[in-house]
Each structure stands twice: as structure tokens, then as C-alpha cells.
Structure 1
């Protein structure tokens, strides 16, 4: 499948998943799940934007949004499992002018992941994948956000088609990770839809079996040797 058709298929997948969630009967779990749902739809929109930016050859900008998408997904899991009732209450604000200037005191992505990974959760396999994503990609993504070295390097070097395809697939991985929360709270539990979707749109996802083992070993060696701490 050529790149243009692959990106079109990716957007079709996102729309199908979003419609499935909209049509699902979601359990009413109060303000906590309402905030989680908001967070998930924000991550969905980020993911759609990543895909659209890639189709118009704006990969640096898509990487900036991938960083925001990643944090939105992590935040949704933190809101569901870790955030205190007081933190949940404080996020239900009244849209006043003054509130727009109040300092956001909520934890950053590293702290959220640390707390999630230490908790005894059924979602641990998902959390482990998010921790792995953070370990390998977060510093580079932060560099794009802050117009650091990665921005200048990639603006000059460009991206191969393979890199752009992997970027799209990883963004889609995050979309399904977010969607899993909502599908788990549907009646009946509809998490099996993720398996159906990854089968139907297999080329739109970056799964464990797609990882190049030689590249993975090389990256792990950098961490073990202390270069990328």
C-alpha cells in the first residue's frame, strides 16, 4: 500500500473507532469518567491532526502534536486510576476569567507514569507500553516541542517514508490505548473491538512484532551504557 492510501486508511480507521465509541452505551461513572472521556477525545483529535499533518508533508509539526497526544493518553489513565477526588473536583472549573490565569499544579507525564507503574492495576500491560514509549521517545519529542536540536536536524535531513509510516502507526497505537478505556466502560464490555480494528487495519498499527530487534538492541545499549539517561 502506498503512503497516500495508507494515510487515508488510517483516517478511516480513526473515524470508525470514534463512531464505535459514540454509539456505545457508556456506564455513567460520574465526573471522573466524564473528565477521562474529555481527555480521550482530545487525544483522538490530536491523533487525527497528526495524520492530517503527515498527509501534507508537515512531519515536524506532527511530532509536536504526537507529544501532546501522548500526554493526553497518559493523563486519561492517571485521571481514571490515580487522581484524588479533590484533583478531580478542581478540574471541574467554572470557566471564569480569573481561572484562566491560575497555575496548573497537576503532575507532569513522568510523574503520572511513575505512579501508574507502581500501582497494582489490571491495565499494567498498557502502562508498561506507555513507559517504554516515554523512555525511548519523550526527550526527542520534547526537543521538537521546544524547537530544539531535533527540529533543526530533521528540518534539514527530512524523514524517510518508513519513519513517517512508523510515526503514523505509533500515533494510532495511542489512539487505541485511549479508546480502550471507553470500550471497557461500555455495556457490554466492548474491548474486543480493538482486536477487530487492528486486524482490519493491520498496516495502520505498529505492534510488538513490527519492532526491529537489531535497532531495539542498539537503543537499549545506549541506555545501559548511560548515554540516554
Structure 2
């Protein structure tokens, strides 16, 4: 998604946040708060069955990672913020898998007392991300899972996971960005990708509670806050920096 663009020509991180970054950050937080106002309407978790409750818990973990991406970016902890994008993705795709695909015994394992043995047994039943995507693809072909949701998760994985893994494992991306500086448009892109996951997260929650009204509101919010959702670096430059650099 970004490998073909020379990011060295774009603004690097310095001691002060630019006006462009502050403008984006304010819009992005407004978008997240608008989504939160919808999810806050969900009733107490005790009113849901174990599968639904497990989905809500995993989705909440994903949302927490997304908020942390923003808070870290504001403090210019960009390597850490970029690393959390992978955790946000994995929490969400596991929530989707638990809700639509996982067998009942897998779900129930998460409700056993937290011991080393129980944790190990539960985690052994969770497949890799590639297998989860295959399971979701199969369920989508059967009409169980929305095809668009699976498509977006697969695209996200293909476009961002290699880079995110480099940040998580302190690879060359992390090293180079720390050594040479982290371009502001790139961290804006990270937050936009995080917001895209958050929108999918809330759509999943709307599905769990069977709320067509919430789905419609999330779709409307995405149109209203289009600038807060994923776009490429040149688009970010045009929108927030009023400069075209390709």
C-alpha cells in the first residue's frame, strides 16, 4: 500500500505536532466518539449468551487497541501505535470467527477459570489468521457471513500485515522509522486504517444485537467522516497538507 511511495519527501515527526495532524486527529476522535455513542447503547453483557458475550468482549479489546493507536500517535509513540494495528486486527477477526464460525465447545473453553492449563487448551483451539480467513470465506459462500466484511478483512491483511509485523517484531520498518523519522502522513494512514477496523467492529456489534438502525447509522457516519477512513498517502497530502507529492 505504501512501498511504491518515497516517504522521505514527506514531513517527519518533530517536537511539535503540525496543524495538519491536529486537524486530522480531532476529526478522527470525533468519528470514534460517534461510533462509541452507538455501541454504548448495547445493554449489559449478562443479557447475552456466551457466544454473543465472547464476541462483545473480543470486539471491546479490538476497540481498546484502536483507541490506544490514537493516544500513542498523539504522544508521537509511532512505532508502538503502528504495532497495535496488528493486535486490533487480530482481536476483530477472532471476534468475527467466534460469532459466526467457532464450535460451541471452543466458545465455552473461554469461560473456564483462568489457569495455565485452561488457557493453553483454549488457545490451541484458535486457528491461525489464514485459517480463520478461510473459515470466514467458506461461511460467506454459505451465506452465513457478509461477503463484504470478509473481503475487507482479507484486503486489510494483505495490505498491512507484513509492515505491521515488522513493527511488532522490531524489524527493518521499526528500525528505519526510528532512525530516520516517522513521516506524519504515514501515522495518519495508520490511524485511518485503525478507524476502518473500528467501523467494521461496530458493524459486527450491530449484527450481534440485530440492529438495522445501528448499521444504518454506522454507514452514515462513514460518509460523514470519510477523511477519517483509509486512504493512500497522496490523498492524505492533498486533504490535510494541501500539497500533491507523488
Q: What's the TM-score once normalised by structure 1's chain length?
A: 0.82
What is the CA distance between 1:142 and its match in structure 2?
Answer: 1.2
* Residue 217 of structure 1: aligned partner: none
The CA deviation string for residues 186-211 of structure 1, in whole angstroms up to 9 with x for no partner, is: 354220111221123221111xxx45
Go from structure 1 to structure 2 and tell me whether the alpha carbon gap of 1:212 and 1:61 turns closer, same or farther (over 3 Å shift): closer
| Match among 179, 185, 197 for residue 156 of structure 1 | 179
The CA deviation string for residues 144-174 of structure 1, in whole angstroms up to 9 with x for no partner, is: 1111222112212323222121111110000
Q: Is the 8 A contact 1:51 1:168 kept in 2?
A: yes
Cα distance in 1 for partners of 2:97, 2:44 equals: 19
* Residue 202 of structure 1: aligned partner: 226
* Residue 6 of structure 1: aligned partner: 24
Tell me the SS of whatever aligns to 1:18.
helix
| Match among 58, 63, 86 for residue 77 of structure 2 | 58
Task: Tell me if 1:130 matches 2:153.
Answer: yes
In the TM superposition, what are the counterparts of 1:75-224 in structure 2 within 5 Å? 75-96=94-115, 99=118, 104-105=123-124, 106-119=126-139, 120=141, 121=143, 122-186=145-209, 188-189=211-212, 190-206=214-230, 210-211=231-232
Tell me the SS of whatever aligns to 1:104.
helix
Cα distance in 2 for partners of 1:46, 1:35 equals: 17
Go from structure 1 to structure 2 and tell me whether the alpha carbon gap of 1:131 and 1:188 turns closer, same or farther (over 3 Å shift): closer
Q: Is the 8 A contact 1:26 1:187 kept in 2?
A: no
Go from structure 1 to structure 2 and tell me whether the alpha carbon gap of 1:183 and 1:195 turns closer, same or farther (over 3 Å shift): same
- Stretches of 4+ moved more than 6 A in 1? none
What is the CA distance between 1:89 and its match in structure 2?
Answer: 0.9
* Residue 41 of structure 2: aligned partner: 23
How big is the alpha-carbon RMSD for the aligned residues of Structure 1 and Structure 2? Answer: 2.4
Cα distance in 2 for partners of 1:78, 1:187 equals: 17
Query: What stretches of structure 2 of length at least 5 have no aligned partner?
Result: 1-18, 235-246
Cα distance in 1 for partners of 2:35, 2:229 equals: 13
Query: What stretches of structure 1 of length at least 5 have no aligned partner?
Result: 214-229
Cα distance in 2 for partners of 1:97, 1:108 equals: 20
Q: Is the 8 A contact 2:70 2:191 kept in 1?
A: yes
Q: What's the TM-score once normalised by structure 2's chain length?
A: 0.77
Tell me the SS of whatever aligns to 1:191.
helix
Cα distance in 2 for partners of 1:197, 1:65 equals: 24
How many pairs does the alignment contain?
210
Cα distance in 1 for partners of 2:103, 2:39 equals: 26
